[in-house]
């Protein structure tokens, strides 16, 4: 579940954001996590493919030929879906009120975008999540992008916090969220150009990332420096 444009220090420790901070205390918090750059889309692509794939802007309808996390999951025989709040219909190929293509990484991979049947099956409106939870049909990997208000992009961190609380509660109280499940709450980028760990000297800022799982140590804080492009390379869950 990914939110927008807030530095770590704008989220953690803020009494005006009770849901983010409650979860950070209850579960595991990455305290030294960094985005790769600005603006949004390069970070979304890096999160889902391990590289920005040469994308340096919010280029809307642009797409690349690149192996991505959806390919790897599907080739292993497991299932995946991207749930996009305010997306008008599955695999919608234009931005619309509340929904931005720049916050949907899957639509930027040619092997998903150009395969209409695959795209419509796997890249769906967030309303589908309720149905999948009710039918015990949550995929092995689920990506959730809130709309432009609830992600904090247009309406600020307070709106994001209000969205976060009930959405997380709904997911983790579902029977689909079992002993081996992990919910990652993170941000695409911060508001600064802070950098770390082999990223360019000016990167995407320090971001808050919370790992929600029955396997983590409650209140654990991991100070390891993580750029977001390393997510897919982790072999162990921090705090486990």
Separation CA 203–CA 38 (nearest Å): 7
What six digits make up the tokens of 119?
């795209």
Q: What is the DSSP letter of 137?
A: -
- Hunting for tokens 């919608």 — which residue is that? 92
Does the annotation count 130 as an active-site position? no
Burial class (CB in 10 A: 0-12, 13-18, 19+), 95: middle
Separation CA 2–CA 143 (nearest Å): 8
Instruction: Tell how strand 28-34 and strand 206-212 pair up.
Output: antiparallel
Q: Which of 58, 71, 111, 154 is catalytic?
A: 154
In the Cβ-directed half-sphere of 183, how many Cα atoms lie within 13 Å?
A: 23
Instruction: Provide the 3-class DSSP secondary structure of residue 186.
Output: strand
What six digits make up the tokens of 197?
């760990």
Q: What is the DSSP letter of 32?
A: E
Catalytic residues: 154
């Amino acid at each position: 579940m990914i939110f927008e444009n807030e530095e770590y220090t704008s989220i953690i420790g803020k009494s005006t954001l009770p849901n983010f901070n409650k979860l950070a205390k209850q579960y595991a918090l990455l305290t030294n996590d960094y985005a790769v750059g600005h603006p949004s889309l390069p970070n979304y692509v890096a999160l889902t493919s391990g590289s920005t794939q040469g994308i340096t802007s919010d280029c809307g309808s642009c797409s690349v030929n690149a192996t991505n996390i959806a390919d790897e999951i599907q080739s292993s025989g497991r299932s995946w879906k991207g749930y996009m709040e305010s997306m008008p219909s599955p695999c919608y190929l234009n931005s619309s009120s509340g929904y931005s293509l720049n916050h949907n990484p899957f639509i930027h991979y040619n092997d998903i975008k150009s395969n209409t049947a695959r795209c419509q099956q796997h890249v769906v409106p967030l309303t589908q999540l309720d149905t999948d939870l009710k039918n015990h049909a949550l995929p092995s990997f689920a990506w959730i992008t809130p709309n432009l208000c609830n992600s904090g992009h247009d309406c600020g961190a307070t709106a994001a916090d209000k969205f976060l609380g009930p959405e997380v509660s709904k997911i983790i109280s579902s029977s689909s969220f079992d002993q081996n499940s992990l919910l990652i709450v993170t941000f695409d980028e911060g508001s600064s150009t802070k950098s770390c760990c082999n990223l360019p000297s000016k990167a995407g800022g320090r971001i808050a990332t919370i790992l929600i799982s029955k396997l983590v140590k409650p209140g654990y804080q991991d100070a390891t420096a993580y750029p977001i492009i390393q997510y897919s390379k982790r072999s162990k869950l921090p705090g486990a």
